[in-house]
Amino acid sequence: MSLQAHSLFSSKTVEIYDVCCRPEHRGHGGEEYSSGHHVVFPRSGAFVMRVAGREFLADSTQVLFFNRAEPYRVAHPVDGGDDCAVFVFRPELLREVIGCHQPRVAERPDRPFEFSHTASDPRAFFFQQRLRQRLLPGVQDGLMVEELSLELLAAVMGHAYAARGIRAGRRRRETAAAHREQTERTRLVLAARFTEDLRLAEIARAVHSSSFHLARVFRRETGIPIHQYRQQLRLRAALERLLEGEADLTGLALDLGFASHSHFSAAFRGAFGTTPSACRRRANARWLREMSKILKAGGPAPA
């Protein structure tokens, strides 16, 4: 059997792989063991999984869960093999997410997944496909990938438990003041270090939180995820420097933490409705008056 794994992303929060399997025969292969706690999205093809004496068909309508060192066997009754996206989360993050639905997960850290598979919600499948497509050209924003991956994990586990009639249990409610304070500490970290390629675990450690908890609290308090908030800080700083006469757009982009000039230009245009170069050319009193009027009216910025 030909099996190829291509790494798309790796950080202290999550690792993401593309796995391509092309079997030589249709029958069950030998016993295999999962190298970690894996969440697997089959994208194409189909195969039969045998886990703990039970068999099920895995295809793009399913999400699969593998506990580390769990034995399984695979057969390919359909020609063509299969292609999957594999997400590997830090064990403590995985337990925290699952713990929202099953508190007893803390009692079995070596087997956090109670189920071998669940139906793949169409929105979750679309979400992971879009995330994968963003990764194929190369990572541009690691913080974004980490936040979106945790959001995907939370959605998948919520669907898996809800499908079995298990809703998230009530947990101790932290005070609104504590959440606001944590959000403000996070904003302070970003204000001081928004040009750096900070990852979620590093930001969470700086404000004494877990990555999953911080991502949820920050989005609830501000209405946007952390990576988008950081992007706003970068773009506003870029606009300030352009209006002050910054000439080197590539240097400006890299200095503010953007992956490239093209990445910077696309983000700038999405936010302000004009390119950095056009903004620099038109940064005169008349243009600023036009922009002021349009912003007050709620329309797009002048091109």
The CATH number linked to 76 is: 2.60.120.810
How far is Cα of residue 218 from the mean position of the Cα atoms in its chain?
A: 15
Q: Which residues form the domain of 124? A: 2-162
pLDDT tens by residue, the chain, 303 residues: 577 889 999 999 999 999 998 887 776 777 889 999 999 999 999 999 998 888 999 999 999 999 999 999 999 888 888 999 999 999 999 999 999 899 899 898 899 999 999 998 889 999 999 898 888 877 678 999 999 999 999 999 999 999 888 776 554 555 778 888 999 999 999 999 999 999 999 999 999 999 999 999 999 899 999 999 999 999 999 988 888 888 899 999 999 999 899 989 999 999 988 899 888 777 665 665 665 666 666 555 544
Question: What are the DSSP calls for 178-221, one per residue?
Answer: HHHHHHHHHHHHHHHHTTS---HHHHHHHTT--HHHHHHHHHHH
Contacts of residue 83, defined as CB under 8 A and 6 or more positions apart, other chains included, come to 18, 19, 20, 21, 42, 43, 44, 45
What's residue 39's pLDDT? 96
Among candidate residues 162, 195, 212, the one where a domain is terminated:
162
How far is it, in rounded angstroms, from Cα 247 to Cα 281? 10
- The reply to whether 277 and 202 lie within a common domain is no
Residue 303 lies in a domain: no
- The reply to whether 199 and 268 lie within a common domain is no
- The reply to whether 157 and 115 lie within a common domain is yes
Residue 16 lies in a domain: yes
Among candidate residues 109, 139, 162, the one where a domain is terminated:
162
How far is it, in rounded angstroms, from Cα 105 to Cα 103? 5
Q: Number of structural domains, the chain?
A: 3
- The reply to whether 24 and 146 lie within a common domain is yes
Residue 256 lies in a domain: yes
The length of the chain in residues reads 303
Residue 97 lies in a domain: yes
Contacts of residue 291, defined as CB under 8 A and 6 or more positions apart, other chains included, come to 301, 302
What's residue 299's pLDDT? 54
How far is Cα of residue 117 from the mean position of the Cα atoms in its chain?
A: 21
The token pair that represents 138 in the structure block: 């190369």
Residue 103 lies in a domain: yes
Among candidate residues 130, 162, 194, the one where a domain is terminated:
162
- The reply to whether 135 and 211 lie within a common domain is no
pTM: 0.83
How far is it, in rounded angstroms, from Cα 251 to Cα 262? 12
Contacts of residue 283, defined as CB under 8 A and 6 or more positions apart, other chains included, come to 242, 243
- The reply to whether 152 and 8 lie within a common domain is yes
* DSSP letter, residue 166: -
Residue type, 191: A
Distance set, CA 210 to CA 26, 94, 96, 172, 300 (Å): 44, 11, 9, 16, 38
CATH code of 251's domain: 1.10.10.60
The token pair that represents 51 in the structure block: 């886990």
What's residue 302's pLDDT? 46
What's residue 303's pLDDT? 47
- The reply to whether 197 and 284 lie within a common domain is no
Residue 153 lies in a domain: yes
Say how many C-beta atoms besides its own lie within 10 A of residue 96's C-beta: 21
Q: Where are the beta strands (DSSP E) in the chain?
A: 2-10, 14-22, 32-33, 38-45, 47-51, 54-58, 62-66, 71-75, 82-89, 117-119
What's residue 286's pLDDT? 62
What's residue 294's pLDDT? 61
- The reply to whether 183 and 36 lie within a common domain is no
How far is it, in rounded angstroms, from Cα 95 to Cα 169? 15
- The reply to whether 142 and 263 lie within a common domain is no
Residue 302 lies in a domain: no
Residue 229 lies in a domain: no
- The reply to whether 83 and 209 lie within a common domain is no
Contacts of residue 138, defined as CB under 8 A and 6 or more positions apart, other chains included, come to 259
Radius of gyration of the chain (CA): 23
- The reply to whether 36 and 156 lie within a common domain is yes
- The reply to whether 36 and 182 lie within a common domain is no
